[in-house]
């Protein structure tokens, strides 16, 4: 495994970071607790020292699973990346920006973006209890909240650093303009953003800015929620409650299928899976600090970690680029 410094902080994160969205179950059709715990343990055992979660993932369940999985582990050997700012239980008393509505266990739930100082402090205290820890390594604003000044959010996170409750503060899903505004108050350690072979928009302006300002980039959805693994072209069935049934429809699936077929010889030559090839390619892109990869069980976690066990040479990277240019 390779470990990388995050922005201008003293945090050293594993290049492949465990993404804990799926184990929370929300929007993913559920997951077995035993499998989730084993996935976390397998990640740690194979060099993935960094875990990324959020209160929204399973409405606290993902955090609780991480807290349980880390019992008996050396806390200073693990980096917990957490978030705040998605409120679902009505405790925001109608404040914040309405995001979307969904169902959980057959009941309607409204999700709000809410990043006031008061809410941040509240969420962090709740997260610390669920995670069974007394500090969070990196706290990230999950989504921008148009009803709260960015300066207020940045000031609150800076206060939490001073209190020792978090080691570093960051943002997620910020546009370039929002990131620039944030730095007027406090420079975030990183910006967690959507990036994959099929969506490289951040390369144009965001990545150059973060490089020049020593801000890290944490990437989510590098596998496009499993699409780039290729297995869904083998008629694998998704549960009816799995959000990916609709998510995959945004892509030209025939072009994606052709892309994977044309780069698969590289994977075969290296005796790795398509998923591992895609993950490794993502870690090698300019300005990318770490890449999130979810795993529902130990086998998937071990496979993700192994994505760092090989390299891609210039010719291989150029071949992949030529195929991506056709998308």
CA 231 to chain centre: 21
Task: Determine whether 194 is an active site residue.
Answer: no
Rounded distance, CA 287 to CA 197, Å?
15
> 239-243 long-range CB contacts below 8 Å, 24 or more apart?
239/29, 239/30, 240/29, 241/29, 241/30, 242/27, 242/28, 242/29, 243/27, 243/28
End-to-end CA separation in angstroms for the chain: 31
Give the relative orientation of helices 150-162 and 117-131 as an angle to the nearest 10 degrees.
40
What residues form DSSP beta bridges with 84? 141
Q: Which of 3, 18, 57, 135 is catalytic?
A: 57
Collapsing DSSP to helix, strand or coil, 285 comes out as coil
For residue 103, the tally of other CB atoms under 10 A from its CB is: 9
Task: Write the DSSP assignment of 216-265 as a string of letters.
Answer: EEEEE-TTTTTGGGSGGGGTPPPPTT-THHHHGGGS-HHHHHHHHHHHHH
105 within 8 A of 26, measured Cβ to Cβ: no
What residues form DSSP beta bridges with 103? 108
58 within 8 A of 94, measured Cβ to Cβ: no
* Residues assigned a catalytic role: 57
């Amino acid at each position: 495994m390779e470990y990388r410094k995050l922005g201008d902080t003293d945090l050293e994160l594993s290049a492949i970071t465990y993404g804990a969205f799926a184990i929370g179950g929300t929007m993913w059709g559920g997951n077995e607790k035993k499998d989730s715990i084993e996935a976390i343990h397998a990640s740690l055992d194979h060099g993935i020292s960094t875990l990324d979660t959020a209160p929204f993932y399973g409405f606290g369940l993902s955090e609780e699973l991480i807290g349980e999985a880390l019992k008996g582990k050396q806390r200073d050997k693990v980096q917990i990346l957490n978030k705040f700012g998605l409120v679902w239980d009505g405790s925001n008393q109608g404040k914040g920006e309405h995001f979307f509505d969904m169902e959980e266990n057959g009941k309607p739930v409204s999700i709000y973006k809410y990043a006031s100082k008061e809410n941040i402090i509240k969420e962090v205290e709740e997260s610390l209890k669920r995670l069974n820890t007394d500090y969070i390594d990196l706290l990230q604003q999950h989504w921008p909240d148009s009803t709260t000044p960015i300066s207020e959010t940045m000031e609150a996170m800076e206060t939490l650093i001073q209190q020792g409750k978090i080691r570093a503060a960051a943002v997620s899903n910020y546009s370039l303009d929002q990131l620039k505004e944030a730095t007027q108050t406090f420079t975030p350690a990183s910006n967690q953003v959507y990036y994959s072979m099929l969506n490289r928009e951040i390369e144009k302006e965001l990545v150059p800015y973060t490089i020049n300002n020593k801000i890290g980039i944490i990437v989510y959805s590098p596998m496009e929620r499993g699409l780039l693994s290729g297995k869904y072209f083998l008629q694998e069935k998704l549960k009816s409650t799995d959000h990916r049934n609709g998510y995959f429809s945004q892509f030209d699936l025939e072009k994606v299928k052709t892309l994977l077929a044309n780069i698969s010889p590289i994977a075969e030559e290296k005796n790795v899976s398509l998923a591992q090839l895609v993950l490794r390619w993502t870690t090698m892109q300019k300005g990318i600090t770490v890449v999130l990869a979810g795993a529902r069980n130990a086998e998937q976690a071990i496979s993700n970690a192994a994505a760092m066990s090989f390299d891609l040479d210039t010719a291989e990277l150029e071949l992949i680029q030529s195929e991506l240019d056709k998308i």
